[in-house]
Amino acid sequence: MSVLTPMSHALAAIVAAAHAGLTSLGADPASGVTWLLCIAAVVAIVRLALLPLAVHGVRLAHASARARPQLRELTERHRSQPIGLRELAEERRRISAENHLPRGGALPLLVQVPIWLALYHLMTAVAAGTAVGALGSGLVASLGAATLLGVPLAERGYLGGGLTHLAVVAGLAATAATLSYVTQRYLVAPAAVLDSVPDAVSRVQQMVPMISAVGLVVAGGVVPVALLVYWVCNGVWSLAQSAVIWRWFPTPGSPAATRAGSS
């Protein structure tokens, strides 16, 4: 049993519950549409559960932006008039407290990582025909037989299934990549403050949207179609959530905040 097993079982229970709920409403239990809706339900439930962490991230970015000038001034003052490390640490704590900088920093945001990994392992296991928790052999077989435009949700790879298979897989991968690029390039990047960031870090930040998009296109050739569907649904949610933050809660001092202030 791996550390991700409990999370995978919890996610499997969400999928099974969504499937049971849809079939109770009259949906075909073996239909590809039903399983697509189950995947969308997982996205909605997981992202809603992670919403407090997203709020924490916004508060952290805002507090860091407010504290940044004072911390920069403290660093410059320390260079000209060196003070003890304890006094320096106390000054930093005071500035953080004054600006309501959340304790723990970005650590709570890292909670998302094992959830994404658990979901990846769940989707790949089920696509391979392996029962996981509440997703017993019957549901696994049903998902394995479900299709999207004739392409099984358990299939993977760009080639080997004809032009329709290639079009579906490439279309899903391209859609996920486009959503990721647009979100990172036009919504996340303008909401970040990089004026005091080293040039090397800034250049890497500028490359992130393209790296993320290319990574999704490459991964599209090795992951199950069901996981590609999840990435598309998750990308739509991320785009909408980032648009809300960009429009109404931009980080102070960021290009997005400047644009919002002038409009």
The string of pLDDT tens digits covering residues 83-124 is 666 777 787 788 878 877 766 555 556 777 888 788 888 888
pLDDT of residue 235: 95
Q: In a 10 Å sphere around its CB, with 0-12 CB exposed, 13-18 middle and 19+ buried, how is residue 156 labelled?
A: buried
Helices (H), the chain: 5-24, 32-49, 51-80, 85-98, 112-127, 137-145, 162-182, 199-219, 225-248, 255-262
**191 secondary structure, DSSP code:** G
Which is higher by pLDDT, 192 or 260? 192
pLDDT of residue 173: 97
Joined tokens for residue 138: 């019957």
pLDDT of residue 109: 60
In the chain, the percentage of residues whose pLDDT exceeds 90 is: 49
pLDDT of residue 58: 86
Per-residue model confidence as pLDDT tens digits over 150-165? 999 999 899 878 899 9
**Mean of pLDDT over the chain:** 86
